Structures are given as C-alpha cells and as structure tokens.
Amino acid sequence: MQARYNKLTTNVFVYIFRYDTRGQTHAEARHWSEEKVLGGRAFFRGDLRPARLVIDNVKGSDAGEYRCRADFYRAPTTISHMKLDVIGKNLPYT
C-alpha cells in the first residue's frame, strides 16, 4: 500500500505526506512529510481500521482541505477528500 496526502494551499494541492509499505510490514513502512507544513508532527496509523493520518499539536494553519490517494497491490486505488476545521481558543496559527 502507498498513501499520499495533499493539502489545498492557494488553490493548489501541495504534497505533504507519504506512507509506503510495499514489500514491508506497517512497522517497517517508509514515511516522509513536508517539514514546512507538518514539521514532523504527523504519522500514519496503517495498523488501524480505517487507517489514518494523525497530526499532533494541531495548529490553526492546519485547517483546510486535504486529499488522500491510496494505491493498493490487490485492490482499486481510492481517493478521499476531507476538510479539517480547527476549533479552539488561543491556537497558534503558524
């Protein structure tokens, strides 16, 4: 399985995270995240059902539209769209 996440920024989806288990277990999977957007705060939980991208220490700037494309070895590709609203007091924006 390979999952790629994008965030909509200024009307363009920016590549922000990749998770790749091809030929490996979930524990051995390769991860990559865009340091400028996520700053090492994200990790993928492929061992859960449904699998999910988790973002720690959510900031106001994390709010927005996200897209995930998951390519599977023996199943059709899926594309999911989601919107993250950040609600709270005194959240940092940057």
Full set of structural domains in the chain with CATH = 2-84 (2.60.40.10)
Please write the tens of the pLDDT for every residue from 65-88: 999 888 888 889 998 999 999 887
Tokens of 49: 């059902």
Query: What is the Cα–Cα distance from 66 to 13, expressed in whole angstroms?
Result: 8
Q: Is the pLDDT of residue 11 over 80?
A: no
Local structure of 79: helix, strand or coil: strand
79 - beta bridge partners? 69
Question: For residues 45 and 52, is the Cβ–Cβ distance under 8 A?
Answer: yes
Confidence band for 90, pLDDT divided at 50, 70 and 90: low
Chain center to CA of 29: 14
Nearest to 69 by CA among 58, 61, 77: 77
Q: What is the pLDDT of residue 83?
A: 92
Please write the tens of the pLDDT for every residue from 32-71: 888 888 888 988 888 888 888 899 988 888 888 999 888 8
